[in-house]
């Protein structure tokens, strides 16, 4: 199932807090004190048209994304208690010789089943396919690899060294690993 949403990214992890009348949205924020080395420190994901107005104030990027649920329920269906404890956010830029559509097809139909096989500790998995960039850094997609804890994300990402190699070998078939921004480890909460 695919759901269209808006994704905003911010350089400041304290940036933009919603007004009480805003619709619910998810806030992904890095717990790290130092954020200068990260491609972004906070991401807001939601469906409210108000996000378009808010983005112009302080966001460094605004994207229309198609959310594909690969493991667990759609993000919008999760209660606060069902949210993952830690999320690895992996921005993706497609290979230059590959169309965005072809990269998304490989990512969804080939890589996702492999990821589900090799990331057994993962509790939720979503692919955000970028349908339109309003402004911001180039990205064609964002993977949300979710785990119960940050320790699980860091220590139990892969089932084995062979699995880690399989994932790396597949990623280079659709993603430009040299140009894709580095991952952001984040905590997630509902703003309601």
Query: Do 156 and 163 touch, CB atoms closer than 8 A?
Result: no
**Rounded mean pLDDT, 97-105:** 94
Query: Do 187 and 29 touch, CB atoms closer than 8 A?
Result: yes
Pick the CATH number of 2-191 from 3.50.50.60, 3.90.380.10, 3.30.365.10, 3.30.70.100: 3.30.70.100
pLDDT (tens digit per residue) in 173-189: 999 999 999 999 999 99
Residue 181: φ, ψ to 5°: -60, 155
Angstrom distance (rounded) from CA 50 to CA 60 = 17
Q: Work out the burial of residue 17: count CB atoms within 10 Å of its CB; fewer than 13 is exposed, 13-18 middle, 19 or more buried.
A: exposed
pLDDT (tens digit per residue) in 24-48: 889 999 999 999 999 999 999 998 8
pLDDT (tens digit per residue) in 45-76: 998 877 877 777 789 999 999 999 999 999 98
Query: Do 110 and 172 touch, CB atoms closer than 8 A?
Result: no
The pLDDT assigned to 52 comes to: 79
Q: Work out the burial of residue 103: count CB atoms within 10 Å of its CB; fewer than 13 is exposed, 13-18 middle, 19 or more buried.
A: buried
Query: Do 106 and 33 touch, CB atoms closer than 8 A?
Result: no
Query: Do 25 and 42 touch, CB atoms closer than 8 A?
Result: no
Q: What is the pTM of this model?
A: 0.94
Residue 148: φ, ψ to 5°: -65, -35
Domain boundaries, the chain: 2-191
């Amino acid at each position: 199932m695919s759901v269209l949403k808006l994704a905003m990214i911010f350089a400041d992890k304290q940036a933009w807090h919603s007004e009480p009348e805003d619709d619910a949205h998810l806030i992904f924020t890095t717990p790290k004190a130092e954020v200068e080395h990260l491609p972004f420190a906070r991401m807001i994901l939601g469906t409210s048209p108000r996000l378009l107005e808010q983005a112009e104030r302080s966001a460094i990027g605004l994207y229309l994304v198609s959310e594909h649920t690969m493991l667990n329920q759609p993000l919008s269906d999760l209660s606060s208690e069902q949210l993952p404890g830690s999320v690895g956010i992996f921005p993706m830029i497609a290979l230059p010789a590959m169309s965005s559509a072809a990269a998304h097809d490989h990512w969804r139909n080939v890589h996702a089943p492999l990821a589900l096989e090799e990331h057994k500790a993962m509790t939720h998995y979503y692919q955000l396919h970028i349908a339109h960039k309003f402004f911001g850094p180039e990205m064609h997609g964002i993977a949300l690899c979710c785990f119960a804890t940050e320790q699980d994300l860091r220590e139990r990402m892969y089932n084995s060294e062979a699995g880690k190699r399989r994932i790396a070998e597949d990623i280079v078939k659709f993603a430009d690993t040299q140009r894709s921004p580095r991952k952001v480890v984040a905590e997630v909460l509902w703003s309601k």
